[in-house]
Amino acid sequence: MERRIIWSALGVLALLFVGCDDGDAEPDDAGRRLDAGPTADAGPPDAGPTDGGVDLGPCALDDGQCIFRHDTFGDEQLWTDVLRLNELVSAIPPTTALAVGLKVDAEAVPAEVLASADLDDPATTVALLSLNAVVGVRATVEDGAVTRVGITCALCHSTVDDSAMPGVGSRLDGWPNRDLDPGAILALTPGLPTLAASLGVETEAARAALESWGPGRFDARFNQDGESAPVLIPPAYGLAGVPLETYTGEGPLSYWNAYVAVTQMGGHGNFQDERLGLDIVQEPDLVTPKLPALRDYQLSIPAPSPPEGSFDAAAAARGRTVFEASCASCHAGSTFTDAPTLHAPEETGMDPTEARRSVTGMYRTTPLRGAWHRAPYFHDGSAETLEDVVAHYDAVLGLGLSAEAAADLAAYLRSL
């Protein structure tokens, strides 16, 4: 059990499959800008709730947005105590942090400070961390030094709109951070040798596997079976009404949120699954009490609408007819998925690796809203464009689409 908890380090950035969730609630829809309207974030409070003197974190237990953005679930036990990420972030300038896909919330930084910041100075990184401005990273800074650091759901499942500069802008919660390179970050941590030793793996072998993942990809099973086959970080929007939120449909939001928080982020909480042989109990449980509000927040995030003028409306209208005739049996209804029905890899011509490593051995039909912005496609990123998606299914399912029909269908997908 100890080994599994430590290796969850790898899962780290990975709130991979859909952030954190909870309950047996249904998933939600859409990547909305969290900075808009009544959901604007004023940042975490100075002090959060306690239970019998135990600090439960920076957020009220009914504040799902705060939990999603700012709660580490006590995972500093992994990121600081084992991986020593605090030492790494103290020594790198913002330019390096941005290069591995970390994002900065411009609204957490006074405009005049942001305008004059030296992005080549590690001290600027420390200053940004002290302001809770690095999306998905929460740090304790004392006398100009980062002494504790942990990660949150937002690390993988939020990005920014680049309104200030590339990598710096207003938050977009629920949007997958496809610039983030979790493997590269893990490979850079001073504690990697300790992590590798706990798994009985040579440090350089672990480093090579992690560095092979690439931006926007994470392997949340690596610490369970020792294989390295990362999948795309999925969106945490567009899930309302969808019974299963992971690529392979292991369970509802509550299941995957608990799995990720405890076994991947390294949070201090409980997770049990006899199918995986996991029975992790840590007291106090800093995960379970927060799952309901976290789920509700995720389910409230709407899918992003395509930008005006980004698709041919006439072609999309024709493509809808093609879609209803060729695709709607699986991408069904307003959620565009037939989940909880699952499909064998050979049904849709998908690479079977991820399914084989799961407890279901199958794949869930992916909801489609917001697909316009999240290329590449399929769980493994094997389709670069929506046109490639259409070509794949045309060949595998024998749809016999004309070139015009295929183009119209891609236009329709781009309109969702």
Contact 233, 16 (CB under 8 A): yes
Q: Tell me, what's the pLDDT at 381? A: 96
Section 377-387 average pLDDT: 97
3-class DSSP assignment, residue 324: helix
pLDDT for res 5: 39
50, pLDDT greater than 80: no
Q: What is the overall mean pLDDT for the chain?
A: 88
pLDDT of residue 42: 55
| CA distance linking residue 381 with residue 362, whole number of Å | 17
Q: Mean pLDDT lowest for which of 46-60, 97-111, 212-226, 360-374?
A: 46-60
Give tens-digit pLDDT for 264-297. 999 999 999 999 999 999 999 999 999 999 999 9
For residue 44, what pLDDT band results from cuts at 50, 70 and 90? confident
Lowest mean pLDDT among 21-30, 79-88, 334-343, 362-371: 21-30
- pLDDT number for residue 56: 81
What's residue 225's pLDDT? 87
| Confidence check: pLDDT of 62 > 50 | yes
Least confident window among 16-20, 138-142, 360-364, 401-405? 16-20
Query: Is-cis flag, bond preceding 110, omega within 30?
Result: no
Under the banding of pLDDT at 50, 70 and 90, the label for residue 150 is very high
221 and 357 in contact (C-beta within 8 Å)? yes
Question: Higher pLDDT residue, 36 or 367?
Answer: 367
Asked if pLDDT for residue 173 goes beyond 90, the answer is yes
Q: Report pLDDT for 41.
A: 64
Domains of the chain: 2-300 (no CATH), 313-414 (1.10.760.10)
Q: Contact, 184 vs 211, CB < 8 A? A: yes
Give pLDDT, residue 39.
41
The pLDDT tens digits of the residues spanning 214-234 come to 999 999 998 888 899 999 999
The sign one gets for the Cα dihedral 170, 171, 172, 178 is: positive
pLDDT at 47: 59
- Contacts of 164-167 with C-beta under 8 Å, sequence gap 24+, read 164/104, 164/106, 164/114, 166/98, 167/98, 167/101, 167/102, 167/103, 167/104
Output the DSSP codes for 123-151: HHHHHHHHTT-BTTEEEEEETTEEEEEEE
Beta carbons of 155 and 177 less than 8 angstroms apart: yes
User: How many angstroms separate the CA atoms of 73 and 240, rounded?
Assistant: 24
Whether residue 15 has pLDDT greater than 50: no
- Listing DSSP states for 161-194 in one string gives --SSBTTEESEEETS--TT--HHHHHHH-TTHHH
Please give the average per-residue pLDDT across 329-335, as a whole number: 95
